[in-house]
């Protein structure tokens, strides 16, 4: 499955909740998984190189840090220019995610989605203006959708599910 | 939130070293001691300023499929439809948004076929169209969230 070995999957399960907060965290993992700490670091390096691990470090909680307003800005951008412009928008430090998604015409003309974080709706609106400036003429129209309520939020711990299913039915 | 917490958040969102004493190496870059760094990270995890510390996995490379979906739910049916959507285990997040497309959720299934099945099931049970917005491309430059 996607080039992940059984050991990789065990490393994911052991670390997706976090690394041990101790001077030698990989020794703790080595003990848990009953393999050499060097091997764990090698496998994690390989997952980093292949993009299975995006990064290793602190994951800030926007909301707790005072960034209470989040707006999903959606943009109708020239298809020829979206790849180049999308990269620029994704690189802004107030944009946490930027995606190219299909339009659903006629109801939905937008093909670029960028999640914008700010301390208030006003701040989000100012940041959306900055994005509009970068997109310039390549952008025909846009909107900002503010979330008004979280209806459901569960973590995406899919691997656990996948591994468990695989164990049950040997499909993976 | 003092200057050190801020520096830790701004500088340690990636690049935690895969070494025997990783905190010592990371702490040296911040010009503090290993113990101090561990203690600060622990405190920020405890009060929720950090939601996690460790590797951030790309769930899509772990196997499985994901799709953002949206619905235009008539206001008078909103709570009822929210309950129907939330009851599906494949729904990971669901947000109400201030727009005619007022319900936005992420489906996570083990295969692409799984997404189509869930969408069909939802359209049947709610008698409303479900708009799928699968990712065509992702512009991810490695989030550097500054505080």
Q: Which residue of B has its CA nearest to A119?
A: B147
Q: Does the structure show a pLDDT above 70 at A106?
A: yes
DSSP letter at B9?
H
Task: Report the sign of the C-alpha dihedral through residues A49, A52, A57, A61, in that order.
Answer: positive
In angstroms, what separates the C-alpha of B32 from chain A's closest C-alpha?
14
The CATH topology of domain B59-133 is Alpha-Beta Plaits (3.30.70)
Q: Does the structure show a pLDDT above 50 at B68?
A: yes
CA distance B98 to B79: 15
Contacts of B125 (CB under 8 A, 6+ apart): B84
User: Contact B50/A158, CB-based, under 8 Å?
Assistant: no
In angstroms, what separates the C-alpha of B87 from chain A's closest C-alpha?
10
Q: Is A129 exposed, middle or buried (0-12, 13-18, 19+ CB in 10 A)?
A: exposed
- Kindly report the three-state secondary structure assignment for every residue of A122-158: HHHHHHHHHHHHHHHHHEEEEEEEEEEEEEEECCCCH
Q: Which residue of B has its CA nearest to A10?
A: B62
In angstroms, what separates the C-alpha of B26 from chain A's closest C-alpha?
10
Mean pLDDT over residues A103-116, rounded?
A: 97
DSSP letter at A108?
B
Mean pLDDT over residues B35-59, rounded?
A: 94
Q: Does the structure show a pLDDT above 90 at A159?
A: no
Query: Across the beta sheet with A139-153, what order do the strands follow?
Result: B131-133, B65-71, B103-109, B91-97, A139-153, A69-77, A112-118, A95-100, B137-138
Q: Does the structure show a pLDDT above 50 at B122?
A: yes
Question: ipTM of this predicted complex?
Answer: 0.81
CA distance B50 to A65: 9
Contacts with A, B 7-46, CB within 8 Å: 8-9, 12-16, 18-24, 34, 38, 41-42, 44-45
Which of the pair, A97 or B132, is modelled with greater confidence? Answer: B132
Nearest to A83 among B14, B23, B137 (CB): B137
What domains, with CATH codes, occur in chain A?
6-59 (1.10.10), 69-146 (3.30.70.920)
In angstroms, what separates the C-alpha of A23 from chain B's closest C-alpha?
6
Q: Which residues pair with A73 in a beta bridge?
A: A114, A144
Domain with CATH 3.30.70.3460 in chain B: 59-133
User: Contact A59/B51, CB-based, under 8 Å?
Assistant: yes
User: Contact A16/B55, CB-based, under 8 Å?
Assistant: yes
């Amino acid at each position: 499955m996607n080039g992940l070995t059984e050991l990789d999957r065990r490393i994911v399960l052991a670390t997706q909740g976090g690394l041990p907060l101790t001077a030698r965290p990989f020794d703790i993992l080595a003990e848990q998984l009953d393999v050499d700490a060097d091997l764990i670091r090698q496998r994690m390096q390989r997952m980093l190189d292949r993009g299975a691990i995006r990064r290793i470090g602190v994951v800030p909680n926007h909301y707790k840090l005072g960034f209470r307003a989040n707006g999903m800005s959606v943009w109708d951008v020239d298809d020829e220019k979206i790849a180049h412009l999308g990269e620029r928008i994704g690189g802004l430090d107030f944009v946490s995610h930027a995606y190219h998604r299909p339009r659903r015409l006629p109801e939905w003309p937008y093909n670029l989605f960028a999640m914008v974080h700010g301390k208030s709706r006003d701040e989000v609106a100012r940041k959306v203006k900055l994005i509009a400036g970068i997109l310039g003429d390549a952008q025909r129209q846009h909107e900002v959708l503010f979330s008004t309520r979280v209806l459901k939020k569960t973590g995406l711990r899919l691997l656990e599910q996948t591994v468990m299913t695989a164990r049950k039915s040997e499909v993976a | 939130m003092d200057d050190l917490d801020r520096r830790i958040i701004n500088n340690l969102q990636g690049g935690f070293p895969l070494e025997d004493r990783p905190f010592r190496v990371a702490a040296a870059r911040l010009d503090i001691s290993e113990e101090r760094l561990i203690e600060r990270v622990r405190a920020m995890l405890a009060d929720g300023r950090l939601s996690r510390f460790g590797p951030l996995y790309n769930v899509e490379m772990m196997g499985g499929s994901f799709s953002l979906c949206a619905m235009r739910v008539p206001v008078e049916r909103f709570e009822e439809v929210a309950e129907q959507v939330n009851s599906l285990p494949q729904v990971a997040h669901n947000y109400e948004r201030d727009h005619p497309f007022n319900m936005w959720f992420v489906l996570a299934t083990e295969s692409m076929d799984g997404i189509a099945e869930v969408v069909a099931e939802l359209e049947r049970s709610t008698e409303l169209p479900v708009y799928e917005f699968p990712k065509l491309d992702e512009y991810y430059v490695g989030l550097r969230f500054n505080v």
